[in-house]
Chains A and B, each alone.
Chain A
Amino acid sequence: MSATSPTDALSYYGRPIIKEPVWETDIPLYFFTGGLAGASDLLALGAQLSGNHRLRVSALAAAAAGAAISPYFLIKDLGRPLRFLNMLRVFKVTSPMSVGTWIFSAESATTAVAAACELFSVMPRLRVTAQFFAGLIGPAQATYTGALVAQSVVPAWHEARRELPVLFASSASASAGGAAAILTPAEHAGPARRLGIIGGVAELAASKLMEWRLGKLVGSVYHEGEAGKYTRLATASTLAGTALMALAGRRREGAAAAGTLLLTGSLCKRFAVYHAGKQSARDPHHTSIPQKERGGRAVTQPSSRTGNGSSPSPTTR
């Protein structure tokens, strides 16, 4: 019964069924900076636990930078920026944005304390404790944004709900590994390099898995228009960055180039996801065709009292 190709499927003058997200590019930028901060905090905690002082300082610097710039993007994108704090009046598990606001607040506060202690060389015990909590919250900070876009009716996001959080976590790891590898002398940067490589490989794999699971109709949006441009950029940068990190990461220039490529790949991946969502929301068939194939009970027809032997449906189907 269901249409198989968009050209013969029904729509209202080709207009979208759902609204295109009103978010602007601040949002993918925040996904990137927030992810970088989250994964860097965990990397810094790892360095703290393993006694790698030099790496800990680099990762903490990256986390602090990410956490410091994030609110700018977050607040700027609000239609009513002065009311940012209204999000701290409630806590709702049905809203990843609400949960995320609390995660981000806790993460940025602990990171700020750790960074301040480090910067002014004061209160080492407080620094260690703050870093510990920042590292614990880090993974939540790096993944909730994937849940945030998945909890929507946008087909390219909601239908990718199983893959988006792991894609965002991988992308965050790649960026955190890349940033720390740039900032740390090679002899101390081993874990950063490996995190960059693990993150890069995982990001490439998660992207492929997501597109495959989305299927042809919705999945192809990641290769069209703006989304396609960023997907190609992300794939090329991450692939090159991962390979370069493995081959030349022990040399300072190699690590710098590879880290930059990983950061670029991670940033572009967030933009690809962002544009894919917008494009998929604009296409009524992305909404209607998978729904028809799934079936359900939104349309019901009470049986007539005398049975009907009359005209067949005159619809254009």
Chain B
Amino acid sequence: MKPGDGVETYEAEAQPRLGFFTDTSVCIGCKACEVACKEWNLVPEDGLAWTGHSYDNTGELNANTWRHVAFIEQQAPDPIKQGKQDFRWLMESDVCKHCTHAGCLDVCPTGAIFRTEFGTVVIQDDVCNGCGYCVTACPFGVIGKRERAAASSPAGAGRTSGQSPDVLQTAVASDGLGAITKRELGGDGGMHKCTLCYDRLQNGMEPACAKACPTDSIQFGPLDELVERARERCGDLVEAGVSEARLYLADENDGIGGAGAFFLLLDEPEVYGLPPQPIVPTKNLGTIWGAAAVAAGALAVGVAAAFLRGEE
């Protein structure tokens, strides 16, 4: 896999690219990853509601859910025990893809989003101004906004219900001025997503979710090793008769240049809420600026034309 965009600026300090291989064929839907992530990263509560969508009550990745376990119930022969069941579960722990060409990073106008020495993509909370551009540029809908807590709004409003007033106070007071705590809690108005546990990586530890996963559905390590292992695993599954096994985002020639977090899936990506052929919008940057230049030229011509007939 190619290195992530921008990693070359680290020169000698660049590290081997690290990532996740999420093998959904062994996921048991225990959500240990979701919990471990919340605990380690102090990610706030995401609302306590039932979605009615199988066992999935977090629904999606967003500012306050950095690992999300999707649950799909299907009428189908079991992929392992052929012919024994007419029902199967698909479970998948989703996460930020740490794209090789990351849309979020490309559009961030403050430089808050950066490429780490490990090739991962991280938002610096103390730089982000909450413009929200990254949210519109992620092909996977990963990044979300922690809505600012309205001082007067009743508890339960927005995503910050359950935060103690003190925590909200700290978050608001720390905006732009004064000391910033390592993690701001509650409605700080900023954007948040998985950091691939940057702090743990810097200390030679594996990310919390991978550490907690009891079935090794989430595997962590140098990306090249993971890709090799994943190809083998996928080949084995197909050989064993699981013909629908496929790798997702493991090809560096796809629309995002391959991902630092890729997946083994047992159905079409859309079934898991993933885009089938994601592309980073920056791929079309030339067209976009070209169209803007043409439009600016046309505007100048239009104004000139308006003066051509002289004064009436």
Residue with the highest number of chain B CB atoms closer than 10 Å, among A288, A303, A314: A314
User: Which residues of chain B (266-285) have a CB below 8 Å from chain A?
Assistant: 267-279, 281-282, 284-285
Say whether B253 contacts A297, CB under 8 Å: yes
Binds A, one of B16-24, B39-47, B106-114, B209-217: B106-114
- Chain A residue at minimum C-beta to C-beta distance from B247: A300
Say whether B139 contacts A147, CB under 8 Å: no
Among candidates B109, B276, B289, B309, residue contacting A147 with C-beta atoms closer than 8 Å: B289
**A233: Cβ under 8 A from any B Cβ:** no
Say whether B235 contacts A98, CB under 8 Å: no
Say whether A86 contacts B298, CB under 8 Å: no
Say whether B129 contacts A79, CB under 8 Å: yes
**A299: Cβ under 8 A from any B Cβ:** yes
Least distance between B143 CB and chain A CB atoms (Å): 7
Least distance between A301 CB and chain B CB atoms (Å): 5
**B197: Cβ under 8 A from any A Cβ:** no
**A164: Cβ under 8 A from any B Cβ:** yes
Least distance between B254 CB and chain A CB atoms (Å): 4
Binds A, one of B26-34, B158-166, B300-308: B300-308
- Chain B residue at minimum C-beta to C-beta distance from A152: B136
How far apart are the CA atoms of A23 and B231 in the complex, in Å?
41
Say whether B74 contacts A298, CB under 8 Å: no
**B150: Cβ under 8 A from any A Cβ:** no
Interface residues on B, range: 35 or more
Question: Given A162-B287, A298-B269, A82 and B110 touching (CB < 8 A)?
Answer: no
Among candidates A22, A140, A177, residue contacting B306 with C-beta atoms closer than 8 Å: A177
How far apart are the CA atoms of A86 and B88 in the complex, in Å?
50
Contacts of B70 in A (CB 8 A): 12
Least distance between A170 CB and chain B CB atoms (Å): 8
Say whether B243 contacts A313, CB under 8 Å: yes
Extra inter-chain contacts (19) besides given A16-B60, A50-B310, A299-B269, CB under 8 Å? A13-B53, A17-B275, A77-B131, A78-B131, A79-B189, A80-B129, A83-B127, A84-B129, A86-B111, A92-B108, A92-B111, A139-B295, A157-B136, A165-B292, A198-B302, A281-B136, A302-B231, A303-B235, A311-B243
Using CB atoms and an 8 Å cutoff, list the residues of chain A in contact with chain B. 9-13, 15-19, 21-23, 39, 42-43, 46-47, 49-50, 52, 77-84, 86-87, 89-90, 92-98, 101, 138-140, 142-144, 146-154, 157-158, 161-166, 168-170, 172-173, 177, 187-188, 190-192, 194-195, 198-199, 202, 250, 277, 281, 284, 287-288, 291-292, 294-306, 308, 310-317
Would you list the 7 A-B pairs with minimal beta carbon distance, nearest first? A79-B130, A79-B189, A12-B273, A82-B176, A83-B129, A314-B76, A296-B277
